[in-house]
Amino acid sequence: MKRLISLLTLALALAVPASATATGETRCLYLEPEPLAIQASWAVSSEQGLTGFRIFHRYRGETTWAPYVEVKPTLKLFFHYTITGLEVLPTEVLVQPRYGEVAGKAQKKTATPEV
């Protein structure tokens, strides 16, 4: 009976794609203020199964995020995206890695665009 349970457990583990179980996290998020924009740069702890990123932003103190932008991964060590059309107000930026339909751990920082 133990062997049957072990075999069933193994079969279930093999049936789940690696991209659905492996997740990483955003690391080294750096925000560079630009005129009416913020450039975000970051890395991830794991690129295995990485399918993209969701970039969120909102002005500090607001409770809802602007609609997110999806960014596809590139073959670089660091990733980046520039959020444009901002006001000169403290702005929170959140970067969330995606592994298929699974979200990795996001990182959030705040910066203020330049005039």
Question: What pLDDT, in 10s, does the model give residues 86-98?
Answer: 999 999 999 999 9
Which of 94, 99, 93 minimizes the C-alpha distance to 46? 99
Mean model confidence pLDDT for the chain? 84
For the record, the structure tokens of 55 come out as 């970039």
- Note the maximum CA span of the chain: 70
Predicted confidence at residue 22, as pLDDT, reads 55
Query: What class does CATH assign to 22-111?
Result: mainly beta
| Range with the poorest average pLDDT among 6-10, 61-65, 90-94, 105-109 | 6-10
Predicted confidence at residue 106, as pLDDT, reads 96
In this predicted structure, the answer to whether residue 14 has a pLDDT above a threshold of 90 is no
Which of 33, 32, 40, 43 minimizes the C-alpha distance to 89? 33
